[in-house]
Each structure stands twice: as structure tokens, then as C-alpha cells.
């Protein structure tokens, strides 16, 4: 497959690029600063330096691709931010202009408490702990999810739990339109595997897929 990955210099994005290349896919990594990519990734991926907020600057990077994956997020959750929403808006506009349909947005399972959560997580941890603690991040992600739903694209929203940088095991659990019971954490490398798998599954279009280790 031909993938375009946004947020490729981040902890999750670089794992997506690596996993895709290892699987023999063709990858375009769109970044602000190519120096943020590991050398082996720069050597194998098609690296495009562009401002994701400018649809015209990224249209060629998404045109003709089988799927576009974004793992863009803020690195400072304590301050108001719109990076997820603004980047999603730019990507969606570029995809529409370029005629590319398959879009996968990385969000977060902490954003919604509901079916699939155990009672402690649903009624205490998410609304009373994570909600206030990560309110700026979650507000941004809600806006990005809304833009994705209204995009008219073949979208899938993927919601992982707390992410770790430790080694993954290549396995993950997933649930459609509900949370994963006991899904408290996940290795970024396993999330990368899940994102690539989901991007290649047309049946997940129009759904929210929760994943966990």
C-alpha cells in the first residue's frame, strides 16, 4: 500500500513509518523538520517538508495514496491547543482536493467514558481525573474528531489508551464503537501496527475503533 503519515517525527508517527517500511509499504512522511526523523527512516521513506496547516502545501503528498494516517498531537497538555484540529482541517481539505478517501485519525480512549469501560474507569477515572487533567488535549481531540466525522471521507477514528515507549509484542485488542475493557495502556509500536492494520480494513470506515495492549 501507499501511505502518507503525518506526525512522523513523534513517538507514534515514527513507529508507524518504521512498521510500514518493514512490511514493504511505500511511505511518504510529512514533517516540519526532516532532522527529527531517524536516519534509517529518512533513507527509506519519501520525506516531504511542509506545513500541515496549509492544504495546498500537502496536497501532492496525499494525492494517489491508499490511506492517510495522522498521529499529530501536542507535547504540552497543560496549555490550550488546537494542533490536532487545525492539522486535521488541513489534511481533510488537501485530501478532498487530491481525491484521496481513506483517512485514519489517532485520538485517545480517555476522551470518552462509556460502554466497554469498567465502572471505576467510566465513572471516576475518566470524568473526574483524566477530564480535568487533560482538558486542553481532549478539547482539541474532540474538535479533530468532529472535523473527521464531517469530512465526507472514508474515515476511521482510532482511540488508544495511555501510550508507552517500551517494546511491544505485536499484538493488540480492539473494539468497534465502544471502549476496550481493561485497556489501560499500549506500546506505541503496537499502536503503529494497529493503525496500519485498520487503515487497510475498509470495513472500519465510518467507525471509532478503540485499541489496547
pLDDT (tens, 9 = 90+) of the chain, 213 residues, equals: 999 999 999 999 999 999 999 999 999 999 999 999 999 888 899 999 999 999 999 999 999 999 999 999 887 767 888 999 999 999 999 999 999 999 999 999 887 777 777 777 776 677 766 777 778 888 999 999 999 999 999 999 999 999 999 888 989 999 999 989 888 889 999 999 999 999 999 999 999 999 999
pLDDT of 128: 64
Distance in angstroms (rounded) separating the CA atoms of residues 171 and 191: 9
The pLDDT of residue 75 is 75
Of all helices (H) and strands (E), which one includes residue 158?
strand 154-159
pLDDT at 197: 98
Could you give the angle at which helices 55-62 and 83-98 cross, rounded to 10 degrees?
60
Looking at residue 135, its pLDDT comes to 82
| 3-state SS record for 22-91 | HCCCEEEEEECCHHHCCHHHHHHCEEEECCCCCHHHHHHHHCCCCEEEECCCCCCCCCCCCHHHHHHHHH
The reported pLDDT for the residue numbered 124 is 65
The pLDDT of residue 77 is 65
Amino acid at each position: 500500500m501507499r501511505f502518507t503519515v503525518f506526525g512522523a517525527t513523534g513517538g507514534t508517527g515514527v513507529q508507524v513509518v518504521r512498521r510500514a517500511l518493514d512490511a514493504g509499504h511505500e511511505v511518504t512522511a510529512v514533517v516540519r523538520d526532516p532532522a527529527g526523523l531517524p536516519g534509517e527512516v529518512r533513507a527509506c521513506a519519501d520525506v516531504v517538508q511542509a506545513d500541515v496547516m496549509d492544504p495546498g502545501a500537502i496536497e501532492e503528498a496525499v494525492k494517489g495514496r491508499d490511506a492517510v494516517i495522522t498521529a499529530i498531537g501536542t507535547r504540552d497538555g497543560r496549555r490550550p491547543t488546537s494542533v490536532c484540529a487545525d492539522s486535521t482541517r488541513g489534511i481533510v481539505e488537501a485530501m478532498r482536493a487530491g481525491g484521496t478517501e481513506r483517512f485514519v485519525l489517532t485520538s485517545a480512549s480517555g476522551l470518552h467514558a462509556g460502554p466497554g469501560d469498567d465502572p471505576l474507569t467510566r465513572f471516576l477515572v475518566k470524568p473526574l481525573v483524566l477530564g480535568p487533567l487533560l482538558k486542553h488535549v481532549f478539547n482539541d481531540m474532540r474538535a479533530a474528531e468532529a472535523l473527521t466525522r464531517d469530512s465526507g471521507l472514508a474515515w476511521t477514528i482510532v482511540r488508544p489508551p495511555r501510550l508507552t515507549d517500551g517494546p511491544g509484542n505485536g499484538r493488540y485488542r480492539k473494539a468497534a464503537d465502544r471502549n476496550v475493557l481493561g485497556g489501560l495502556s499500549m506500546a506505541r509500536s503496537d499502536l503503529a501496527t494497529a493503525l496500519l492494520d485498520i487503515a487497510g480494513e475498509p470495513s472500519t470506515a465510518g467507525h471509532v475503533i478503540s485499541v489496547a495492549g
